[in-house]
Amino acid sequence: MDENLDMTNTVNRSRDENIGDFDVGLYLHIPFCAKRCHFCAFYLVMQEERRIERFLRALAIELASYAKQLDSARQRISTVYLGGGTPTALSAVQLSQILTTVRSKFSLTGNCEVTVEATPESLTSAYLDALYAAGVTRLSMGIQTFDQTERTCLGLSSTTEEAKLGIRLLKQSGFTNFNLDVIYGIPGQTILSWDHTLEQACECEPSHLSCYALSVEEGTRFEHAFRRGELKPVETETERQFQVYANEQLAAGGYEHYEISNWAKPGRACRHNQRYWKGQDFLGLGPSAQSYMAGCRFGNVSNLEQYCGRLENGQSAVTEQEFLSISQQEKERVVFGFRMLDGVPKDWVASNARDPDWAALFTAFLEEKYVVQVSDRFALTAKGRQFADALGSQLL
């Protein structure tokens, strides 16, 4: 590994200085897709067997390197999350191979949560059986919408009927812990069609639902269409109504709203994603993957060829790193923690309030009812959650 990018010292520092976490989340970025959806800005490449095989060899090298570092720090993996891209663009054998390597190289906790993202059209009964046998405990399926016109607008590969079939296969396979992703704010979407999507999603009885507002990201097909005036953004008031509908319908379905965009049945919140919001340690492997360990943020090269080449030549895939000051860490854990509906402990706020400018800004948010104190915690109000990103950028 390149000496200046080897994270051994960072990982060991969390043990020696009693900072960071005893348990770590592991994220693996699988960068392959059959096609790019119109709204997607994640790093991905088109699936091709030659590329996949080379990636698997490089990922095995990276996994082995970090396994030694975490083992030396006596840190265990409590959550594993395979995202993308589309992890299920790989064959069941290939995906199982990755999970076998993870289990053989790392120390996993007894109740380790293992999540795999999937698209409905990529699943078969045999594929799901293989994932179950490989130790996957949770699946996350990108449904986005049950309206066919909206699916076409988003550039999704599968039809509404194929999406429903994928969910049926998932439930028949024995997986009881699964998430469905849905999107609101799609051009042309109406309150009626959004209500229908939520209704259909609840009827599928997932243990978890993620409802995301459509974000127009730079470089996407949507971004170009909006700039050319071919698509019109959804009105702010309409988007607010979408949020209200989600809150009401999912609460009636027995789902707890625990994070700005996430609802879960009792005890089914995603433990891996909670690590991000609580400022806990996580290690990201694969091209473009990001990590946060012991106050250090670092990221891999966002290029599959370079990622593979660097690891094949004994170099690290890390190309950027930033050591956060204690002050930065304290601010970030408040900002990310505010994504959780129960907010953050008041002592987290008190730590930052030593800065008079920060304290004055926070007081203004309280007065303007963006933030509320409930017992010994501070949380965003419903009004504050509508402007969470803007409020967070100011608090940083």
Q: What is the DSSP string of 153-189?
A: HHT-SS-HHHHHHHHHHHHHTT---EEEEEEE--TT-
Q: Give the span between the Cα atoms of 98 and 76, in whole angstroms.
A: 17
Do residues 20 and 129 both lie within one domain? yes
Q: 210 has which bridge partners?
A: 181, 262
Do residues 375 and 264 both lie within one domain? no
Residue 291 resides in a domain: no
Contact 155, 38 (CB under 8 A): yes
Residue 174 resides in a domain: yes
Residue 370 resides in a domain: yes
Residue 288 resides in a domain: no
Do residues 270 and 346 both lie within one domain? no
Q: What would the two tokens of residue 393 be? A: 């950028």
Residue 285 resides in a domain: no
Do residues 16 and 122 both lie within one domain? yes
Q: Total structural domains in the chain?
A: 2
Residue 320 resides in a domain: no
For 197, the domain range is: 3-277
pTM over 0.85: yes
What CATH number should be reported for the domain holding residue 164? 3.20.20.70
Do residues 245 and 384 both lie within one domain? no
Residue 294 resides in a domain: no
Do residues 162 and 237 both lie within one domain? yes
Q: Give the span between the Cα atoms of 136 and 390, in whole angstroms.
A: 36
Do residues 330 and 250 both lie within one domain? no
Task: Show pLDDT as tens, one digit a residue, over the chain (396 residues).
Answer: 443 345 555 555 544 444 445 899 999 999 999 889 999 999 999 999 999 999 999 999 999 999 999 988 889 999 999 999 999 999 999 999 999 999 999 999 999 999 999 999 999 999 999 999 999 999 999 999 999 999 999 999 899 999 999 999 999 998 999 999 999 999 999 999 999 999 999 999 999 999 999 988 888 999 999 889 888 878 888 888 999 999 999 999 999 999 999 999 999 999 999 999 999 999 999 999 999 999 999 999 999 999 999 999 999 999 999 999 999 999 999 999 999 999 999 999 999 999 999 999 999 999 999 999 999 999 999 999 989 999 999 999
Residue 303 resides in a domain: no
CA nearest to 141, candidates 125, 123, 118, 121: 118
Do residues 268 and 332 both lie within one domain? no
Q: Over the Cα atoms of the chain, what is R_g?
A: 21
Do residues 63 and 124 both lie within one domain? yes
Do residues 341 and 217 both lie within one domain? no
Phi and psi (nearest 5°) for 41? -120, 5
Do residues 80 and 222 both lie within one domain? yes
Do residues 211 and 95 both lie within one domain? yes
Beta strands in the chain (DSSP E): 23-30, 32-33, 45-46, 76-84, 108-118, 138-144, 178-184, 208-213, 256-259, 262-264, 282-285, 290-293, 296-300, 318-323, 344-345, 371-374, 377-380
Tell me which of 251, 277, 303 is where a domain ends. 277
